[in-house]
Amino acid sequence: MALVDLLRSAQTEVLADASGALHRAHLTHYEASGPNESRRRLDNLYSLVVDCLSERTLGPVCQYAEEVATQRFESGFDIAEVQTAFNVLEEAIWHVVIARLTADDLADATALIGTVLGAGKDTLARTWVSLAAKRHVSSLDVTALFQGTRS
């Protein structure tokens, strides 16, 4: 079975798995928005990932990640919350892919899934850091780590 076909057919299963993992993570802003909104967000990301895999393009996932980073940063989310959402979706995808693809197909799937989600997560992090650099964010203040290190 082709990777994209597999992921399309397993959408309900992947989203249920990812939603459960997101709920168990007890992320402040995701809990505040409720399970339906969190599931909708995961669904949007999942659909985008599958579309990017189908079209062999990274542009849409990078644009989405940039928009999400900006929106969530401005809404006061911690970057770890948003990264966790990406990570639980990726883990749920791997559960399905590893269980259902042959070893030969798994090698290609690893490269494709890793590339799409990696590009999204990289864009998310770079955008977040760029926004944080414009505004003091205590979670990025590492000066305490270097105090007293001089001889």
Widest distance between CA atoms in the chain: 61
> How many domains are there within the chain?
1
Is 116 domain-assigned?
A: yes
Is 122 domain-assigned?
A: yes
Distance CA 4, CA 93 (A): 11
Q: Which residue has the higher pLDDT, 148 or 123?
A: 123
User: Domain of 115?
Assistant: 3-133
Is 144 domain-assigned?
A: no
Distance CA 9, CA 70 (A): 31
Enumerate residues 6+ apart whose C-beta is below 8 A from 39. Answer: 15, 19
Is 138 domain-assigned?
A: no
CATH code, domain carrying 127: 1.10.490.70
Question: pLDDT (tens digit, 9 = 90+) per residue, 38-92?
Answer: 999 999 999 999 999 999 999 999 999 999 999 999 998 889 999 999 999 999 9
